[in-house]
Amino acid sequence: MVTLEDVAASAGVSRATVSRVVNGDTKVKAQTRINVEAAIAELGYSPNPAARALASSQSHTLGLVTTSYRGGFFGALMDTVQSEAELQGQQLLVTQGRDTAEKERSAIQRLFNLRCDGLVLHVRAITDETLLQLAELDRKFIVLDREVQGLEDRCVVFDHRLASALATQVFIDAGHTSIVCLHGPSSRSSSLLRRQGFLDAMSNAGLVPAAVLGGEYDMPAGYQLASQLLENIRPTAIYCCNEELAIGAMLAVTERGLRIPQDISLICYDSGERAAFVRPAITSVHFPITEMARFAIRKLLDNHCKNESFLPEIIHRDSVRRIC
């Protein structure tokens, strides 16, 4: 491997000067810079990150802790976070928490031991208290999609309850009265909030839910819940708290020879992964996780970053029928 020293020798300058041009320091004579750059190109020099990290005590490495790697949601998250990190000249280390507090804690610990400059945390199991402790240790991190009391300035949040209510309102405005809600695990607060938003909108409209069923946030759950539901009742609208649930429900609905939206209307919570790509395309409330992730990275690297707020947005597609 060619080193700074090699470049310095080849360009006839000191190592310090090469370091300056590599790091874009302005105090270098134009001609010197040109010479050095030529030497770099000729030798194919690329700085050794370890040496750089050791000397500067900055690893230029960010960490991301997620709940799991499975599901479309993760791909989108990972994609955005990494693109943004690279844009800012940082590398990214990713680790999954696998839904237990202990694993999340150790993942975070490991990433800090690896000397990450900062972490984006998309975690569920770990307690607020642990997060608070971490903050006191002066660790740099941002919490994605979770509100931690006392750490508001480090949280990038979204109003799931409002978003959910808005989505439900679409059904109500279209004249539906027999509406069911399929939601995720009660162990997740964002899941509870979505369910609550649904209930808000219903009671506001003076409506009683046809049913409210919960399970995992995956396709089989959607399929099963919807199947079980349709054995007993025949609602005109189903609201699904994520995309996987919605696709599972679609399968169950169509399997029974019912059509969407002619017989049953559908709306889901989405992160832009698949709702738009199935047929019929599903009308949804957009959960701007990618925008939020991008903002999280910016915030991590720039302390003066002003807080941004993310508003729910309804995306009208083809899965809602208007009832006269």
**In the chain, helix, strand, coil percent, each to 5?**
45, 15, 40
Q: Is 56 or 127 the residue whose CB approaches DNA more closely? A: 56
266 binds a second copy (CB under 8 A): no
Q: Environment class of residue 229 by beta-carbon count within 10 Å: exposed (0-12), middle (13-18) or buried (19+)?
A: buried
* Contact indicator for 319, 104 with CB cutoff of 8 Å: no
Q: Is 45 or 287 the residue whose CB approaches DNA more closely? A: 45
274 binding partner (options a second copy, DNA, none; Cβ < 5 to 8 Å by kind): a second copy
Site for a second copy in 66-85 (CB under 8 A): 68-72, 74-76, 78-79, 82
27 binding partner (options DNA, a second copy, none; Cβ < 5 to 8 Å by kind): DNA
91 binds a second copy (CB under 8 A): yes
Site for DNA in 9-38 (CB under 7 A): 12-17, 19-20, 22-23, 26-29, 31-33
278 binds a second copy (CB under 8 A): yes
Number of amino acids touching a second copy (CB under 8 A): 48
Is the bond leading into 235 cis (omega within 30 degrees of zero)? no
Compute the C-alpha angle 304/80/128, nearest 5°: 60
* Contact indicator for 285, 267 with CB cutoff of 8 Å: yes
Minimum distance from residue 46 beta carbon to DNA (Å): 7
Instruction: Enumerate the H helices of 88-211 as residue ranges.
Output: 101-113, 128-136, 160-173, 189-204
218 binds a second copy (CB under 8 A): yes
> What's phi and psi for 67, nearest 5 deg?
-65, -45
Give the up-direction half-sphere exposure of residue 273: CA atoms within 13 A in the CB hemisphere: 22
110 binds DNA (CB under 7 A): no
- Give the residues lining the site for a second copy (CB under 8 A): 46, 48-54, 59, 68-72, 74-76, 78-79, 82, 91-96, 113-115, 218-220, 223-224, 227, 247-248, 250-251, 254-255, 257, 259, 273-274, 277-279
